[in-house]
Amino acid sequence: MDHLKFYIDGAWVDPVTPATLDVINPATEKAFTQVSAGSAADVDLAVAAARRAFTEYSQWSVAQRLELLQEIRRGYKKYFDDIAQAISTEMGAPIDLARGSQAKLGAGHIKSAIKALLNFQFEAVEDGMILRHEPIGVCGLITPWNWPMNQVAVKVIPALAAGCTMILKPSEESPLDSMIFAELLHESGVPAGVFNLVNGYGPVVGEAMSAHPDIDMMSFTGSNRGGVAVAKAAAATVKRVAQELGGKSANLILKDADVGAAVSEGVHYMMGNSGQSCNAPTRILVPREKMDEAIEAAKTAVESIAVDEPAKPGDHIGPVVNQAQFDKIQGLIQQGIDEGATLVAGGTGRPEHLPTGYYVKPTVFANVDNNMTIAREEIFGPVVAILGYSDEDEAVEIANDSDFGLAAYVSSGEMERAKHVARRLRAGQVAINYVAGTTDTPFGGYKQSGNGREKGKWGLAEFLEVKAITGLGPVRGG
């Protein structure tokens, strides 16, 4: 595949103006390929193709769209290993994680979208009117680097299921798996212009998409800064904007729980993907009288977490995605030390056996106050903070005292108590005893974690407009 081309109107084409950007392997700190950096002119071509294709594709029957999604699902198996390998190389996920979770989630979202499409009622008669759900139109999709295929599939596939056409801008840090996915869609028979891909920088390509008058909806996953920029650029054309942004998820370990076991599981859960998950349980809340037990459990847990090269098989974490992210994490670890948190394990610098690559030591802080920087800011690395609380009310208050509200976690030996606490948490998804949702579970957040919901039937509904047709009775005067 020529990585310097874009996929527009059913073909791989050269950019309007040649410009390139390096794709860095975070394990080596070196570029292993280049992609083209698109411009507003490339976006114009992609939008025009999507607008033309919408006229016909929006009228496809549910049966036709189901057949297309089934073909994509079959084809995904062929490209699975290529997608996993691309993810591992471009963003540093260990190969077993890339296969077992990263690429696997793409397949899961295809399956869930098919299920949603099979069961969705697009038209019904209610209260003397016809209610129709119709595709919103041309959609701009911007995806992040941390779970690249997960986020591409959770946007592209429901948009296809809804009858929309689209332009995808994947993260410039992890563009290759999306380009492989474009090949899959082409081979599966997605009509020309229905799906388009333009690589490039957010302030250029993303800005052009967000402000484009012929794009009807923007779906963005990424940083709060990026989400705000998309919303501002989109405001002038009053398009729908769906955002899945940051998180600083609280992990409430209630007094009746096995604190040591829950802390250990919480640390392992949080460190997955090198802590680069927006819903990671980064704030562990424990009863103050059990802080010493929590510290010991966290220290033991961290010591069992290996850090190694992404290409090696096995259960370990890899590097973070790039130099900027590495530097940010190092600065926040130092800030935690400077602000007086107890450094339980880890700290600044790379692991001794990995002098090259953006590797971060798995790090745990304890005795953290919720006003400390490491408790307020999304670190997006393998860094967890342990905070103490006196009673359940204070635990809920601390958990909700955040600008974010994407996810939360509750550990308890009493299910009714856990459910009661879960209902009090201001978060879009709450996992009891670390039982996470599936690809059918709605995903999205409260507050500055964004708006809208992805996955399953909720993800399909995001790409639909509601139309009411009234006047179904006899024609007046007839």
Kind and range of the H or E run holding 71: helix 62-91
Find the helix packing angle between 62-91 and 148-162, rounded to 10°: 170
Sign of the four-CA dihedral 241, 280, 443, 421: negative
Q: Which of 172, 173, 244, 454 is catalytic?
A: 244
Rg (CA), the chain: 23
Sign of the four-CA dihedral 320, 321, 327, 331: negative
**Residue 360 dihedral angles phi and psi, to the nearest 5°:** -120, 135
* Contact between residue 262 and residue 407 where contact means Cβ atoms under 8 Å apart: no
Assess whether 139 carries a catalytic annotation.
no
Q: Which of 172, 173, 207, 278 is catalytic?
A: 278
**Residue 388 dihedral angles phi and psi, to the nearest 5°:** -100, 155
Q: Which two tokens stand for residue 390?
A: 């006196």
Distance CA 321, CA 469 (A): 50
Q: Return the amino acid letter for 125.
A: V
* Contact between residue 177 and residue 149 where contact means Cβ atoms under 8 Å apart: yes
SS3 of residue 101 by DSSP: helix
Q: Tokens 């904007």: give the residue.
A: 241
Assess whether 244 carries a catalytic annotation.
yes
Q: Return the amino acid letter for 270.
A: M
Distance CA 469, CA 131 (A): 6
User: What contacts 99, CB < 8 A, 6 or more positions away?
Assistant: 80, 81, 84
3-state secondary structure 207-242: HHHHHCCCCCEEEEECCHHHHHHHHHHHHCCCCEEE
Starting at the earlier edge strand, list the strands of the sheet with 129-135.
123-126, 129-135, 464-469
Instruction: Catalogue the active-site residues.
Output: 244, 278
